[in-house]
Amino acid sequence: MKQLVVFLIFIFSSLSGISQNITAKIIDQNTKNPIPFAAIKTDEFKGVISNEEGYFTLLETAEDTEITISCLGYKNKTLSIEAIKAQNFIIALEESINELTTVYISSKKPNADSIIALARQNLSKNYANKLYKHEVFSRETAIIDFKKLDFVIEKTSHVKKRNLVSANRSLDSLSRAIINSKTSHFKDFKASLWVNDSLKTKLLVDKATELVDQKNDLSIEEVQNKAQHIILKYLDTTLTYKLKTGLFKIEDSLSLKEDFGEENNKNEYDTENLKGQTNYLLKRSQFYDNSMLSKILDASLYNYSFQDISFFNNELIYVINYRPKKSKSKYTGKIFITDASYAITKVDFEYAEGKRGSKVNLKLLLGVKYIENMRKGTVLFQKDTTNIYHPYYINFEEGRYFYVSRPLKFIENSQDRNKTSFDFTVEGNILTKQELLLTKNTAISQALFNEQTEVKKVPYLILNKYDASIWDQDQTLEPLKEMKDFKGGE
Q: Is 155 found in the same domain as 56? A: no
As a whole number, mean pLDDT of residues 327-332 equals 91
61 belongs to a structural domain: yes
Q: Is 182 found in the same domain as 85? A: no
- Sequence-distant (≥ 6) Cβ neighbours of residue 372 within 8 angstroms: 356, 357, 358, 359, 398, 399, 400
Percentage of the chain beyond pLDDT 90 is 43
The whole-chain average pLDDT of the chain stands at 83
237-245 contacts, C-beta under 8 A, 24 or more apart: 239/412, 239/413, 239/414, 240/413, 241/410, 241/411, 241/412, 241/413, 242/410, 242/411, 242/412, 242/413, 243/408, 243/409, 243/410, 243/411, 244/408, 244/409, 244/411, 245/406, 245/407, 245/408, 245/409
Vertex 396, ends 276 and 318: CA angle to 5°? 125
- Sequence-distant (≥ 6) Cβ neighbours of residue 377 within 8 angstroms: 284, 348, 349, 350, 394, 395, 396, 397
Whether the predicted pLDDT of 322 surpasses 70: yes
- Sequence-distant (≥ 6) Cβ neighbours of residue 286 within 8 angstroms: 127, 129, 293, 391
Whether the predicted pLDDT of 490 surpasses 60: no
Q: Which residue has the higher pLDDT, 465 or 361?
A: 465
Whether the predicted pLDDT of 329 surpasses 80: yes
Residue 257: band (very low, low, confident or very high) from pLDDT cuts 50, 70, 90: low
Whether the predicted pLDDT of 459 surpasses 50: yes
Q: Is 213 found in the same domain as 160? A: yes
Q: Is 136 found in the same domain as 84? A: no
Q: Is 153 found in the same domain as 66? A: no
Q: Which residue has the higher pLDDT, 109 or 48?
A: 48
Q: Using DSSP bridges, classify how beta strands 268-270 and 457-459 pair: parallel, antiparallel or unpaired.
A: antiparallel
90 belongs to a structural domain: yes
Residue 170: band (very low, low, confident or very high) from pLDDT cuts 50, 70, 90: confident
Which of 45, 67, 95 marks a domain boundary?
95
Q: Is 383 found in the same domain as 247? A: yes
Q: Is 61 found in the same domain as 191? A: no
Percentage of the chain beyond pLDDT 70 is 82
Whether the predicted pLDDT of 24 surpasses 70: yes
N residues, the chain: 490
Instruction: Output the pLDDT for position 368.
Output: 78
What is the number of structural domains in the chain? 2
* Highest mean pLDDT (candidates 218-222, 289-293, 419-423, 486-490): 289-293
Residue 5: band (very low, low, confident or very high) from pLDDT cuts 50, 70, 90: very low
Rounded Cα gap, residues 79 and 58, in angstroms: 14
Instruction: Output the pLDDT for position 6.
Output: 42
111 belongs to a structural domain: no
Handedness of CA 126, 130, 134, 139 (dihedral sign): positive
68 belongs to a structural domain: yes
As a whole number, mean pLDDT of residues 94-105 equals 62
Q: Is 353 found in the same domain as 262? A: yes
As a whole number, mean pLDDT of residues 396-409 equals 86
Q: Per-residue pLDDT tens for 40-89?
A: 887 766 778 999 999 998 876 777 788 899 998 898 999 988 899 999 99
Q: Which residue has the higher pLDDT, 436 or 357?
A: 436
Instruction: Output the pLDDT for position 449.
Output: 96
Q: Is 142 found in the same domain as 53? A: no
As a whole number, mean pLDDT of residues 137-141 equals 95
As a whole number, mean pLDDT of residues 399-415 equals 82
Q: How far is CA 272 from the centre of its chain?
A: 17
- What is the three-class DSSP state of 166? helix
Instruction: Output the pLDDT for position 7.
Output: 41
193 belongs to a structural domain: yes
Instruction: Output the pLDDT for position 331.
Output: 96
As a whole number, mean pLDDT of residues 406-411 equals 77
Whether the predicted pLDDT of 1 surpasses 70: no
35 belongs to a structural domain: yes
Range of the domain at 363: 132-484
0.95 cut: is pTM over it?
A: no
Instruction: Output the pLDDT for position 63.
Output: 72
Which of 95, 120, 152 marks a domain boundary?
95
Q: Which residue has the higher pLDDT, 293 or 239?
A: 293
Rounded Cα gap, residues 490 and 487, in angstroms: 10
Q: Which residue has the higher pLDDT, 372 or 221?
A: 372
Does residue 199 contact residue 129 with C-beta atoms inside 8 Å? yes
Residue 28: band (very low, low, confident or very high) from pLDDT cuts 50, 70, 90: very high
Within 10 A of 34 (CB to CB), how many other CB atoms are there? 16
Instruction: Output the pLDDT for position 258.
Output: 52
As a whole number, mean pLDDT of residues 417-444 equals 86
Which of 45, 78, 95 marks a domain boundary?
95
Does residue 436 contact residue 378 with C-beta atoms inside 8 Å? no
Q: Is 172 found in the same domain as 39? A: no
Residue 250: band (very low, low, confident or very high) from pLDDT cuts 50, 70, 90: low
125 belongs to a structural domain: no
Instruction: Output the pLDDT for position 287.
Output: 92
Domain at 65, CATH number: 2.60.40.1120
As a whole number, mean pLDDT of residues 462-479 equals 85
Whether the predicted pLDDT of 238 surpasses 60: yes
Instruction: Output the pLDDT for position 445.
Output: 96
Instruction: Output the pLDDT for position 358.
Output: 74
Main-chain phi, psi angles of 446, to 5 degrees: -65, -35
Q: Is 137 found in the same domain as 55? A: no
Instruction: Output the pLDDT for position 384.
Output: 87
Whether the predicted pLDDT of 295 surpasses 80: yes
Q: CA–CA distance from 147 to each of 181, 230, 244, 367 (Å)?
A: 10, 21, 25, 16
Instruction: Output the pLDDT for position 8.
Output: 41
Q: Per-residue pLDDT tens for 379-391?
A: 999 988 889 999 9
Q: Is 354 found in the same domain as 297? A: yes
As a whole number, mean pLDDT of residues 395-419 equals 83
Q: Name beta bridge partners: 127.
A: 389
Main-chain phi, psi angles of 230, to 5 degrees: -65, -45
Rounded Cα gap, residues 418 and 431, in angstroms: 41
Instruction: Output the pLDDT for position 10.
Output: 41
As a whole number, mean pLDDT of residues 440-450 equals 94
As a whole number, mean pLDDT of residues 180-184 equals 72
Of 101-110, 157-166, 457-466, give the lowest mean pLDDT range.
101-110
29 belongs to a structural domain: yes
